[in-house]
Amino acid sequence: MISPCHACPLRLLPAFKTGRPDEIDFIQTMKLGEDRFAAGEAITAEGAPDTPLYTLLSGWAFRYRTLADGRRQILNFLLPGDLIGVQANFLGDAAHGVEALGPVVVCRLARSKMWDLYRNHPTLGFDVTWLTAHEEGLVDETLLSVGRRTALERIATLLLYLYKRAVSIGIASEGLLDVPLTQSHLADALGLSRAHVNETLGRLEKRGLFRFRRGRLEMLNPHALETIAGYYDRPLDPRPLL
């Protein structure tokens, strides 16, 4: 069953701006349908022309780039409410790919209406700009981690950020989060070998900070983890939702 935009389950969450009725009406005209992807499927492919424009409705995904020899860098992880494919609207062919981490549902949006969005709904246009700027900021954080943070700091920062975002959209509570990440995903996101990730996770777990087993993250001492990461309890502002 396709969710109408006015009854979108994400729009009811405090993590997202509610939006004006006329803006939601326009977003409804953009919505072409909903697509589903299984774990490991490509939502968009690197270098693909005419990349679809999506909003992630449920599930987890990640943006990535690969080198000629198959080495992969995960640029950032995507959670419900994130916009997929907007860069291709400005840059042409997709510079990166997006892969589903688990079962995913996306809202497919009409890319042809983007100019109408900017012309007739400037607040929505600003929201799209905010989302792309925010995503660029996340890539900056990834670069900072890979370039300067220690392995302990990298893993602590990433797990804290994902947990806080998950709490804000209601998919984590009481310190528990079901997350379809493997050690290989963490390695590709943080510029570490899988062996180094395994050893670092073990060191952090021995300190009693969290448990990470078979897709379940249990936060045991988030304040100590914040100290390691230098990532303190900053509330996440409500995000635009397209």
Q: Are 105 and 58 contacting, i.e. CB atoms less than 8 angstroms apart? A: yes
Q: Is the pLDDT of residue 50 over 80?
A: no
Q: Cα-flanking dihedrals φ and ψ of residue 193, to 5°?
A: -75, 160
Which amino acid, one-letter code, is at 205?
A: E
- Output the pTM of the full model: 0.89
Q: Which of 22-26, 84-88, 99-103, 116-120 has the largest mean confidence?
A: 99-103
Q: Is the pLDDT of residue 88 over 90?
A: no
Categorise residue 58: left if φ over 0, alpha if ψ from -120 to 50, beta otherwise: beta
* Domains (range + CATH), the chain: 5-122 (2.60.120.10), 149-229 (1.10.10.10)
Residue 236 pLDDT? 67
Residue 32 pLDDT? 92
- 23's CB contacts (< 8 A; 6+ apart) are 121, 123, 124
Which amino acid, one-letter code, is at 154?
A: R
Residue 91 pLDDT? 56
C-alpha R_g of the chain: 18
* Averaged confidence pLDDT in the chain: 85
> What's the rounded mean pLDDT across residues 219-225?
87
How far apart are alpha carbons 83 and 106 in whole angstroms?
9
